[in-house]
Structures are given as structure tokens and as C-alpha cells.
Amino acid sequence: MPVARTRSVALLGLTGSIVEVEADLSPQLPAFIIIGLPDAALGEARDRVRSAAINAGCPLPSRRLTVNLSPAALPKHGSGFDLAIAIACLAASGELSTGSVDRVVHLGELGLDGRLRPIDGILPAVLAAARAGHDTVMVPTGNATEAALVPGIRVVGVASLLEAAIWHGGRYDEREVETVPSTTGTAAAAAGAEVDTPGDLADVSGNDDAVEGMLVAAAGGHHVYLLGPPGAGKTMLASRLPGILPDLDADAALEVASIRSLAGLRPASGLSFRPPYEAPHHTATAAAMVGGGSRLIRPGAAARASHGVLFLDEAPEFPSAVLDVLRQPLESGTIAIHRANAVASFPAKFQLVLAANPCPCGNDGTAECTCPPVARRRYLGRISGPLLDRVDVQLRVPRITLAALRAAGEKPGLSSADARAKVIEARAVAGERLRGTPWRTNAEMPGPWLRGAGGLHPGGRAVAALDRSLERGGITMRGYDRVLKVAWTLADLDGSAVPRAEHVTRALFFKKGIDA
């Protein structure tokens, strides 16, 4: 018999590579051999595939089967190759059409009873197949809805190996089997519910500067640091930020869904266009923050927050090493996880929101505070200067006084709907200005462009206050450029063609407001 071929996908991070699965049947003593750099889970496929084929009613021949996964030098992980291996073996034995099998990409894990189980990462795998020029993929029924989110590709959902074999022309008696449901769709829906209904910005009372700061952050894509006592509204402000961000475009929404799919959070319905929101606990490790794993590399909270918001509540309680792993992603917008035999990359274009109390007891500036000055400095010093230098908007969030609460009750605050409309308008202005460049928001603009083609030249009248701060050492060169970015955002919100001196001064206050 000729060698039978089909295809599957090997994932490394979000990057998928097409793997050619070859099966050869030879007249030797019965054996089942898998070669081509499989990991332990994939090496166990020979037992799963043989048992599944017998129990499904389409047994493999009792001869020597050799399965090669090509390219052989590419590491291959997990059980998602089971279906491709089984189909290739059945085609090698002459039971299935080799032409039909060769045209389809197969993804799925087999149970011993022959049913197909949903797998994680189906969306980036199907995307990789589509980009490689394939037009048909066969997946477990539990993954079919998720796989169908990829445009321009035919998705064939099958519940069992027998159903897959019959689809490829196998002459077997049909059986009804119970579909293995997707076990994480409900969890994903619950996770997404919090993002879809984050609360209204108008719920924030008496903190007009903080509300303006969040509006500026949303309009320009800037990072935020909120410093204030417990109960002042820091968490409420952070949770309202996703609600005032614009909808994602189709490419960004598909990328977000792919990351969540790889993390095991399968969508319960269609593609969501709302920005994601991640708020890891302060006990999170560096691997939980950026991603990792000994064999299969999973995305961390920072990657899952891409195109959305990453909120670190009680930021000084995070280990310093965990906070500092975010410094490189904040600059590059990507996370690279290095292993001995591979490097996995994830997108990390998130907005960082840090929240902190002013001292360990949280009562700084009041008679109840018992923290000595050294304890306060040590507490806030856990957030390193290089990390804070990458944060554009730094705000004090004071406790609400009774007078401020009464004033807020008399005058309604800015609603999320109105704030979102302002953000969309400001981003449209920035998008028109940045047309023809690789940048889409003010936060992405590089310093040389700001100080050159952007028109805010050092020594100019508009940046006089900023020049003085740089001269006195009150701000770094990175901070200088970040103030210019916020100034552009303030100008866009005000409808000004270029930032004026008051915009630069206000942006400098946002950058240095905590030190004021």
C-alpha cells in the first residue's frame, strides 16, 4: 500500500505550523510506532488511537504501522494529533480515500471509546491552517462553533472517529454517539460577562480629576497608576475603563479569541468585540503573569489582556520580580518566552492600571496612620522606578468628603456612554493624523516623531514647562516623550489641532501628580 498522508497543526504560542502526518503499513510483526519528535502525551497516542479505532468499529490492521510527523525537527505537543494519526492509519490500510484524507486538516483528541474530545487552541490552529492555504478542517463537534469563527474556511464537526471515517468514504455501519461537550465554554462566558457589564462611570462620585484621567487614558491608550486610601474608588475606576474603550476591530477580536482559546477559555457564542479585562491576584507568579509552561507554553494574564486592560490591584503586594517582568512588554507590545528548543511569542498590547495604597495601613495623612516614614517608602518602593516611568497617567485618588458627595448628587457624573463617545471621537482624530504610519493611538507614537514631525520641538513655547522639568531632573527623557503623548491626547479631546501650553502643563501634572 502507498503511504497515506494528512495534515494537522503544531502550535508554539499563537504561531501554528502545518504538520504532515504520514502513515505506512508494512507486512511485519504488529507494532505501532510514532516518530517525528513527539512529546510524552503525543507518544501515548498509539494506545489511544488503537483502542479508539477498535471501540468505534473501524479497527486498525494487526500489522506494523509507522507514523511520521513531518517536519521531524519541529517539536510537537499534546493530544490534538490523535484524529490525524487515526485517519492516516485507516487510509494507509485502504479503508479510506487517500485523496479525501490528503485534502483535510484534522484536529482533535480521541477517547478510548472512539469519541472526539474538544481541545484547547483550536482557533489559532484553524487560523494557521487557513493562512497556509487549506480550505477544510475537521474538528470535534465541541470545537466546531469556535473553529467557525475563522472566515473563509470550511469546518467539518464530527463526534467520533467512526463519523470521521465515514465522511472520508469508509464503509462502516453508522452508530449514534453522544457528543463530548465543551467543558470551558460556560467558564469563558462567565469571564466575559464581567467585561460586557463593567458598571457605569457615572457611579464614581466626587473624583473629577480621576475620571478625567481615565478618560484621557482611554482616548490615548495610556497606562495608569492610581494611589489612594482604601475605599476611595480605585478598583471602581479601573473596572470602568474597559466600558469606555472602543470596540475591537475584526483582527483584534480574532486575536483576543485565539489567546483565550489557547488558555482554555472557549467562547460560548460568537466573536466578542469588547476589550478583555484581566485582574490577577497579587499572589500571581511571573509565569502566571506573562505565560509559561514546561512543554506546552500557555499565555499569562498580560497576554490575555492584550487589546484590553490589565489591572493590578494592591500593586505593592505583588513580588517586585513579577511587576518588573512587565517592563519589556510595555515597551514592545509583545511577550517572548524562551525555552531550550523554542521561543513562543504572544501579543501584549494592553493598558496597564496599577492601584496602590499610600502606606501599609492605608491611612496615610490621617491621625490613624501608624506607619513610620521608612515603612511607607519601603512599601511603595516595591513598584520600581523604571516601571513607573513607563506609566503616563499617575493620579492621587483621595477619600470622598461629605461636601464632594453632596455635590456629586446634585450634578450627575460623566456616564460610560458619553465617555465612550468622546474616546471614539478622539481616537478618530488621532487615527486621521497618524494615517500612513504604523501607529494608531497616541501612546504608540515614538519620541523622535513627537519631537520632529509631531511639531513639539524642545525649546518651543508650548513645552517650556516640560523643558524646565527635564533640565532640573524631575523627569526622564522617556517621561518627557510620554508627557508629549498625553498632551496630544488632551488636544484631541479638546478639538485642538496641536497641543498648546496648557495641554502640556496638564499632561505634566498627570505624569507627576502623585509627587505634587
Cβ atoms of 74 and 37 closer than 8 Å: yes
Which ranges in the chain are annotated with CATH 3.40.50.300? Answer: 189-444
Contacts of residue 504, Cβ cutoff 8 Å, sequence gap at least 6: 456, 462, 463, 465, 466, 483, 484, 487
Which ranges in the chain are annotated with CATH 3.30.230.10? Answer: 4-183
CATH architecture of 4-183: 2-Layer Sandwich (3.30)
One digit per residue, pLDDT tens: the chain, 516 residues? 579 999 999 999 899 999 999 999 998 889 999 999 888 888 899 999 999 999 999 999 999 999 999 998 888 888 999 999 999 999 999 999 999 999 999 999 999 999 999 999 999 999 999 999 999 999 999 999 999 999 999 999 999 999 999 999 999 999 889 999 876 544 443 444 344 446 889 888 778 889 999 999 999 999 999 999 888 899 999 999 999 999 999 999 999 999 999 998 877 678 899 999 999 999 999 999 999 887 778 999 999 999 999 999 999 999 999 999 999 999 999 999 988 777 889 999 999 999 999 888 887 666 678 888 898 889 999 999 999 999 999 999 988 877 777 776 667 778 999 999 999 999 999 999 999 889 999 999 998 888 888 778 888 888 999 999 999 988 999 999 999 999 999 999 999 999 999 999 999 999 987 664
- The answer to whether the Cα torsion of 476, 488, 444, 255 is positive or negative is positive
CATH architecture of 189-444: 3-Layer(aba) Sandwich (3.40)
Give the pairing of strands 4-12 and 15-26. antiparallel
Cβ atoms of 394 and 227 closer than 8 Å: yes
Q: Which residues of 323-360 are buried (b: 16+ CB within 10 A; e: fewer)?
A: bebbeebbeeeebebeeeeeebbbbbbbbbbbbbbbbb
Please give the Cα distance from 24 to 66 (Å, whole number): 5
Measuring CA to CA, which residue among 92, 83, 101 is closest to residue 4?
A: 92
Which residue reads 518627557 in cell numbers?
480
Global confidence as pTM: 0.90
Give the count of beta carbons closer than 10 Å to the beta carbon of residue 403. 9
